[in-house]
Structure 1
Amino acid sequence: MRVLVAEDEEILAELVATGLRRAGFAVDTVYSGDAAIAYLSLHDYDVVVLDRDLPRVHGDDVARHLVANGSRTRILMLTAAGSMEDRVAGLDLGADDYLPKPFEFPELISRVRALRRRSARPAPPLLEKAGLRLDTVRRTADREGRDLDLSPKEFAILQLLLEADGAVVSAEELLERAWDAHADPFTGAVRVAMSKLRGKLGEPALIRTVQGVGYAL
């Protein structure tokens, strides 16, 4: 799951991003509205955590841009403007949820996950196939009752493969969905993570490589 944090206070932006990464999300951060629009145009985000009072391009205009372009990215407005009138205005602009500052991290993470489930590609909280069980809320995974102890990247890859339900997922899509914008597409990061995931899944093998296309369960 990929999230964009758009917040002009850089320290707060990095704190939010760090907390979301620890919860297993791939996160990019920007500090202005024009940068938010640029990133949203380049990458397919599930959720944008959007401060309303952004420099250069106001957060409200970022929300309008997403709505006007029919984006499937869900909008969580995170802002100090927390009055009822502010919340109503934000939701009327097209925001899917509104969380005033100050906030508690568990609530932020829960709201981001809820928005992911409401996206165009909904993810049920429990994914099961071929003896695999993946709990996307508790962030646990097991095979035939054996705990898999997955890293965040391995968990994200397995979630994407389970959601595809047997369809092939390309390495490019895995890189887009499970890594942030700083990932180098030429490092072989997907191949390395896939190898480690296969080792943890054990035998019989569950992930097959479709040569020149991608991977599938």
Structure 2
Amino acid sequence: MEPLASKIRPQSLKDFIGQEHLVGEGKPINVAIQKKHLFSFILWGPPGCGKTTLARIYAKSLDVQYYGLSAVSAGKDDIKKIVDENTWGKSKVLFLDEIHRFNKAQQDYLLPHVERGVITLIGATTENPSFEVIPSLLSRCRVFVLNELSPDEMKKIIKRVGLKLNKNAVDWLVNMANGDARQAIAVIESAQQLYGNLELDSLKNALQSKFLRY
């Protein structure tokens, strides 16, 4: 079954909530999408603020072959497979989540492919890339800082779920998730699956069960 977060994921900038300094009219990522400008960049921001979604929206706006990897589980072989794949003239865009988890040797292996334009890199990280990404790779990427989602932005995202939640439940979710939309959506999904309702007690219990599973 498709996760709730995936079901409600925005497919275009007009549906994207938050990060107005990057996606608003005349702002860098908005302009890049409008002009179909292909370049490497790193998205640095807290969990659940829209890094993955923004990367997908950007790549979708271009006629490219898109690849998504997590640096937690990926390695040199995965990069080599992408480099060697024939995409019949399409540019290759690699979204590398948690890029800070790639060690120096792995980043060194990726570097020449980014240098030569074989791969256009979009990295995502919760850590300061100045300390986690090797200078030679970092110098070939723009760095965009994403902010924690505001309470109002969180409420808009929760509303998008399309399920009935009372004000107390919404306020509790916003406070609990602390700007992490993915966390709020996961708790809503767990409560609906476990208890069949979204009462405040059900949400609180779902949060506890989520922690127990991990």
TM-score by length of 1: 0.30
Higher share in helix: 2
Higher share in strand: 1
Higher relative contact order structure (alpha carbons within 8 Å, sequence separation ≥ 6) = 2
TM-score by length of 2: 0.30
